[in-house]
C-alpha cells in the first residue's frame, strides 16, 4: 500500500450518513460519515473488512452503531471474489489496491486524526486486517481482529496495537489454532496485544465490539 495519512486537500466532503465510495461499478465499497463531523475536529478512522461471503454492508455494520457518538468515520471495501485475495487467490492483489484507493479518497476529503487510524474485520476480514495492518503499521495505529483465522506478513513496519477477540466455542475457526495461537505469536514478537476470549461461537457479541471501540479510542 502506498497511501499514507495527509491533511485533506479539498473541502468537498459528503454529508453525514452512508455513501458509496464510487471505486467500482459492480462491487463498490461504502463510506460512513458520522453525524456532526467537523473538519475542525479530526475524526478517528476505521477500515472494516467483511468475512468470507460477505459484502461492504457487513463491514460497515461491524462498528456503525458507535460511529456517531465517537466521531468515527468508517470505510468498508468489498473483496473482488468470495473472500479477500490472500484467501481466495493465495496472493495480495487487487483487494489491496481497493483499500489503498479508499484510504486515498478519504484522506483527500476528510480531516483524520493520525493517531487513530485502524484496520479491522471479522473472520477472513480479521485475518486480512492483521496482514495489511502489520505490514503497514506506519499507517495503521490499531488493528481490530474479531475471530481471525491467521496472520501472514512477509515484512512489517511500525508497531500498531492489536485488539484480538475469539469465541471459546468457535466451530468455524477453532480458538486453539486460531485466536490463541495468533495472540501468542504476536506477543512473542513483542507486539502490544489486547486479547479477549468470550463464551460464544463465530460471532461478535455487542460487549466485544464495544470493548474494541473503547480500546481503540481511549
pLDDT tens digits for the chain (218 residues)? 889 998 888 767 778 999 999 888 888 999 999 998 999 999 999 999 999 999 999 999 999 999 999 999 999 999 999 999 988 888 888 999 999 999 999 999 999 999 999 999 999 999 999 999 999 999 999 999 999 999 988 888 999 999 999 999 999 999 999 999 999 999 999 999 999 999 999 999 999 999 999 999 99
Q: How far apart are CA 55 and CA 58, in angstroms?
A: 5
C-alpha cell at 203: 460471532
CA 42-159-76 angle, to 5 degrees, is: 50
* pLDDT tens-place string over residues 99-134: 999 999 999 999 999 999 999 999 999 999 999 999
Element (H, E) at 48: strand 43-49
Amino acid at each position: 500500500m502506498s497511501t499514507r495519512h495527509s491533511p485533506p486537500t479539498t473541502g468537498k466532503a459528503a454529508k453525514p450518513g452512508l455513501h458509496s465510495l464510487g471505486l467500482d461499478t459492480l462491487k463498490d465499497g461504502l463510506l460512513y460519515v458520522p453525524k456532526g463531523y467537523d473538519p475542525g475536529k479530526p475524526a478517528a478512522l476505521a477500515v472494516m473488512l467483511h468475512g468470507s461471503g460477505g459484502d461492504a454492508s457487513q463491514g460497515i455494520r461491524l462498528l456503525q452503531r458507535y460511529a456517531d457518538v465517537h466521531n468515527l468515520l468508517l470505510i468498508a471495501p468489498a473483496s473482488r471474489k468470495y473472500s479477500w485475495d490472500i484467501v481466495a487467490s493465495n496472493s495480495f492483489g487487487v483487494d489491496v489496491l481497493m483499500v489503498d484507493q479508499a484510504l486515498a479518497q478519504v484522506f483527500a476529503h476528510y480531516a483524520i486524526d493520525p493517531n487513530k487510524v485502524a484496520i479491522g474485520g471479522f473472520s477472513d476480514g480479521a485475518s486480512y486486517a492483521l496482514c495489511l495492518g502489520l505490514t503497514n503499521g506506519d499507517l495503521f495505529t490499531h488493528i481490530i481482529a474479531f475471530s481471525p483465522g491467521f496472520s501472514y506478513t512477509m515484512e512489517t513496519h511500525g508497531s500498531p496495537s492489536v485488539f484480538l477477540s475469539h469465541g471459546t466455542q468457535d466451530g468455524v475457526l477453532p480458538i486453539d489454532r486460531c485466536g490463541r495461537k495468533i495472540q501468542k505469536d504476536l506477543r512473542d514478537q513483542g507486539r502490544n496485544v489486547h486479547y479477549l476470549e468470550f463464551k460464544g461461537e463465530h460471532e461478535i457479541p455487542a460487549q466485544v465490539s464495544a470493548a474494541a471501540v473503547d480500546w481503540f479510542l481511549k
